[in-house]
């Protein structure tokens, strides 16, 4: 390949200002967790679907692989280039328009680079709720959310990003545009292609726009923060919450005391309620279509029953929107507090909710025995059976050296138990390159073979995000 000619071609497509090859490219080349730093041949920033298609064609002709990128907040090293200096980072952030809102159809059509928070705010202004909610919402994009099938804190009621998506527009590896922005709720005309691209982590095509579901804004949202004697009590409380709040239960997050301690340590301005002696706390949210009064009566009744039952030892209900935000902010600050504490090992696992306490009991004991001093940062989306069962190096240890030496054996212990419990090694963050080899060990050969067939059918040149999710060579996966 003649690199100067290739770069000139890209400049002619998107404009010279939008082909970045020098200067500080850290934001595009380093992943959010600072696990790996890559090197891009160029960062290309198209402003239209047509430009994306032309960039893909130019790359295909030159044999240059493409790493689609949104906000680069992914957790598994999937949106940054490898270290070869030969890949193009295709940043979608300039494609951030809201194309249409159909109030009667309860849908919004939006370009892939739209930042999630901007989408949420636009919907709210129009009187609707777009329920996807993640702590990274100020910088992650709807394209990245779809690429990872992101979960977040409202899945217990609204499902993952996949459930919120009714249509996609995608640029294929052949540089064609698949326009599937129908917004239909029923369409059984063959394979549902949208579901192939959602959660494919940029390995099958470039999502350029999506039609997403909207919901009516709730009349009231009430948040409570509860203290619990054990994780089993959190599961009991979840059952009670489903019973008492039904579809009003829009959030149910669990936080271990050590995780909350990290928030207190690194963000001392935040007021974490209660004294920190109970092992677990829960943030839960009741959304109501009637009134604030109704929401409060329901939530207070739930907490009363839970206290009588003994599964909640104390609780506080937010009195204002500001207080509710502050309670959620505590939960959302855990990943940031963990990052401040140093490099760490993340486990984004899912297990049947009913079996989570047993899993955690066994995993805690096994890790404490095999890796004395490790600090367990356990929190997550209990309502979805999804825990971030994370591991921080022992106090005072060199975190980088700890990860180098202990990450693989720690993962082996945790994931072996996940298998025993028929769980998943990645509930919402995806695979990227960080969990690619782990996937090979924990997914059946039949499933891996089907995934590989899909990849080679849609992207025979292995143009999109090679080496992510699946290794570039079939031999490595067997
Ligand atoms: P990127 O990181 O840029 O990309 C992620 C993947 O999607 C990559 O494989 C990339 O190639 C692909 N991709 C990006 N754009 C496109 C596109 N247009 N077409 C095709 N593929 C594309 N995740 C959760 O699921 N739940 C959480 O609660 C959550 N909380 C988080 C909190 C914090 C503080 C942080 C930093 C991250 C959190 N995440 C969470 C992870 C992350 O924010 C999500 O994975 C998010 O969906 C990534 O969006 P992004 O735009 O940053 O994508
Ligand atoms: C979260 O739930 O906070 C996110 O998935 C991010 C993380 O686990 O670090
Ligand atoms: Zn999460």
Which candidate, 96, 12, 107, 101, places its Cα nearest to that of 54? 12
Give the distance (Å) from ligand 2 centre to CA of residue 218.
25
What is the dihedral sign for C-alpha 77, 79, 80, 84?
positive
Distance 335 CA to ligand 2 centre (A): 6
Residue 34: per-residue pLDDT: 92
Instruction: Kindly identify the ligand whose nearest atom is closest to the C-alpha of 205.
Output: 1
Query: What six digits make up the tokens of 126?
Result: 């129009």
Radius of gyration over every alpha carbon of the chain, rounded to an integer in angstroms: 23
Closest ligand 2 atom number to CA of residue 151: 5
* 332 Cβ contact partners less than 8 Å away, ≥ 6 residues apart: 135, 153
Question: Residue 101's pLDDT is what?
Answer: 98
What pLDDT does residue 440 have? 96
φ, ψ at 143 (rounded to 5°): -65, -40
| Predicted pLDDT of residue 476 | 47
Q: Locate 321 and state its tokens.
A: 């929107």
Q: Give the C-alpha separation, 370 to 368, whole Å.
A: 6
**Residue-level pLDDT at 127:** 96
pTM for the predicted model, two decimal places: 0.97
How far away, in angstroms, is 137 Cα from ligand 1 center? 10
* 201, 45 contact by CB (below 8 A): no
Q: Is the CB of 113 under 6 A from ligand 1?
A: no
> Among 135, 134, 137, 136, which Cα is nearest to 122's?
137
Task: Name the residue with the closest Cα to ligand 2, atom 6.
Answer: 335
Q: Is 403 in the pocket of ligand 1 (CB under 6 A)?
A: no
| pLDDT for position 477 | 52
Q: Ligand 1, atom 28: nearest CA belongs to which residue?
A: 152
Distance separating alpha carbons of residues 418 and 345, to the nearest angstrom: 16
Give how far Cα 339 sits from Cα of 12, 334, 392, Å. 40, 9, 10
For ligand 2, whether the C-beta of 399 sits within 6 Å is no
- Pocket flag, ligand 2, residue 388 (CB < 6 Å): yes
The candidate with the shortest Cα–Cα distance to 357, out of 229, 254, 231, is 231
Burial 197-220 (b: 16+ CB within 10 A, else e): bbbbbbbbbbbbbbbbbbbeebeb
Q: In the chain, which stretches have pLDDT less than 50?
A: 475-476, 478
Residue 22: its pLDDT value, please?
Answer: 95
């Amino acid at each position: 390949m003649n690199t100067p000619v290739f770069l000139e071609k890209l400049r002619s497509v998107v404009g010279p200002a939008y082909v970045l090859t020098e200067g500080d490219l850290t934001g595009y080349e380093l992943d959010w967790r600072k696990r790996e730093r890559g090197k891009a041949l160029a960062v290309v920033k198209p402003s239209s679907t047509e430009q994306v298609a032309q960039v893909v064609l130019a790359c295909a002709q030159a044999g240059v692989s493409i790493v689609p990128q949104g906000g680069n907040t992914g957790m598994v090293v999937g949106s940054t280039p490898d270290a070869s200096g030969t890949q193009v980072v295709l940043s979608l952030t300039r494609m951030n328009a809201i194309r249409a809102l159909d109030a009667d159809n309860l849908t919004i059509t939006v370009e892939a680079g739209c930042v999630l928070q901007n989408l949420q705010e636009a919907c709210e202004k129009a009187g609707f709720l777009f329920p996807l909610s993640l702590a990274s919402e100020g910088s992650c994009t709807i394209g990245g959310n779809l690429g990872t099938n992101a979960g977040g804190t409202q899945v217990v009621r609204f499902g993952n990003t996949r459930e919120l998506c009714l249509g996609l527009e995608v640029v294929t590896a052949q540089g064609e545009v698949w326009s599937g922005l129908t917004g239909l709720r029923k369409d059984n005309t063959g394979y549902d292609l949208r579901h192939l691209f959602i959660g494919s982590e940029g390995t099958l095509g470039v999502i350029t726009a999506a039609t997403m579901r909207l919901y009516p804004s709730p009349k009231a949202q009430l948040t409570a923060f509860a203290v619990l004697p054990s994780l089993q009590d959190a599961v009991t409380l979840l059952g009670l919450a489903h019973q008492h709040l039904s579809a009003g239960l829009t959030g149910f997050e669990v936080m271990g005391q050590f995780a909350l301690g990290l928030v207190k340590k690194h963000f001392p301005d935040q007021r974490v309620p209660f004294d920190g002696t109970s092992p677990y706390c829960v943030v839960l949210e009741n959304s109501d279509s009637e009134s604030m009064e109704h929401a409060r009566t329901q939530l207070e009744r739930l907490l009363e029953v839970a206290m009588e039952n003994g599964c909640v030892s104390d609780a506080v209900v937010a009195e204002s929107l500001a207080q509710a935000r502050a309670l959620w902010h505590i939960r959302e600050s855990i990943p940031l507090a963990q990052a401040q504490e140093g490099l760490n090992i993340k486990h984004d696992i899912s297990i049947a909710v009913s079996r989570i306490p047993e899993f955690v009991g066994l995993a805690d004991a096994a890790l404490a025995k095999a890796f004395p001093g490790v600090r367990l940062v356990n929190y997550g989306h209990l309502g979805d059976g999804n825990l971030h069962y994370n591991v921080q190096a022992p106090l005072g240890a060199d975190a980088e050296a700890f990860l180098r030496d202990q990450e693989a054996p720690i993962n082996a212990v945790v994931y072996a138990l996940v298998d025993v419990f028929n769980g998943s090694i990645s509930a919402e963050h995806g695979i990227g390159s960080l969990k690619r080899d782990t996937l090979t060990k924990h997914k059946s050969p039949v499933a891996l073979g089907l995934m590989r067939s899909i990849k080679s059918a849609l992207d025979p040149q292995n143009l999109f995000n090679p080496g992510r999710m699946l290794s570039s060579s079939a031999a490595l996966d067997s």
